[in-house]
């Protein structure tokens, strides 16, 4: 007599997270922006391991900064939307390839400079003091669990 295998079907994850979209008013170097942020806030942003994405022709790196607020017990992450480094793996021989040497995490929002995430379930970005003459107001954006960026954020947390 054969044994029939039974599989447990897990519920699909349909959760959403809220991220902040940060646009710079004028182009300033990354180190200068985080120097100003660290000077105006009680917590300090530090550079941590970059996000690495491997493509067919290029490997991409996106810078990441992290700060921990002791009062609210939240961990904040700034992630660059545009790749800061691309390493060519092999030469493109195709005329119309969809991969270039620059990659954006949010393709539909290429004007966004940084993505801001929060470790709290209810994202509250109002605790971060941003320099008014360098940065526009933070725009909140919802990511569903089916999106690639959601999976990346979960992986690197």
- The three-class DSSP label of residue 39 is helix
78 is a domain residue: yes
Provide the token pair at 94. 């195709």
Residue 68 domain boundaries: 31-49+63-84+109-156
- pLDDT tens profile 78-115: 999 999 999 988 877 776 667 788 999 998 999 999 99
Q: Return the ∠ at Cα 16 (arms to 15 and 21), rounded to 5°.
A: 165
Q: Which one, of 84, 73, 105, lies nearest residue 29 by Cα?
A: 84
CA–CA gap between residue 66 and residue 68 (Å, rounded)? 7
* Average pLDDT rounded to a whole number, residues 4-30: 74
Using an 8 Å Cβ cutoff, are 59 and 87 in contact? yes
Instruction: Supply the DSSP symbol for 146.
Output: T
6 is a domain residue: no
141 is a domain residue: yes
* Average pLDDT rounded to a whole number, residues 112-121: 88
- pLDDT tens profile 40-74: 988 899 999 999 999 888 899 999 999 998 888 88
pLDDT at 11 (0 to 100): 45
117 is a domain residue: yes
Q: In the predicted model, what is the mean pLDDT of the chain?
A: 85
119 is a domain residue: yes
Using an 8 Å Cβ cutoff, are 21 and 138 in contact? yes
Number of separate domains in the chain: 1
pLDDT at 101 (0 to 100): 84
Using an 8 Å Cβ cutoff, are 24 and 113 in contact? yes
* Average pLDDT rounded to a whole number, residues 116-142: 85
Measured from the Cβ of residue 90, the count of other Cβ atoms closer than 10 Å reads 8
CA 58 from centre of chain: 19
pLDDT at 15 (0 to 100): 77
10 is a domain residue: no
CA–CA gap between residue 23 and residue 92 (Å, rounded)? 32
21 is a domain residue: no
2 is a domain residue: no
CA–CA gap between residue 112 and residue 94 (Å, rounded)? 29
pLDDT at 100 (0 to 100): 82
Residues in the chain: 157
């Amino acid at each position: 007599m054969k044994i029939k295998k039974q599989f447990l079907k897990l519920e699909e994850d349909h959760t959403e997270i809220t991220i902040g979209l940060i646009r710079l008013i004028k182009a300033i170097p990354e180190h200068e922006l985080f120097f100003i942020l660290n000077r105006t806030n009680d917590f300090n942003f530090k550079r941590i391991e970059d996000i690495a994405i491997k493509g067919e022709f290029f490997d991409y790196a996106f810078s990441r900064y992290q700060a921990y607020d002791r009062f609210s017990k939240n961990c904040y992450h700034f992630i660059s939307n545009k790749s800061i480094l691309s390493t060519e793996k092999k030469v493109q021989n195709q005329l119309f390839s969809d991969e270039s040497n620059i990659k954006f995490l949010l393709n539909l929002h290429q004007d966004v400079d940084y993505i801001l995430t929060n470790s709290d379930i209810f994202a509250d970005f109002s605790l971060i003091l941003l320099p008014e003459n360098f940065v526009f107001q933070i725009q909140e954006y919802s990511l569903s669990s089916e999106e690639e960026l959601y999976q990346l954020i979960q992986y690197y947390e």
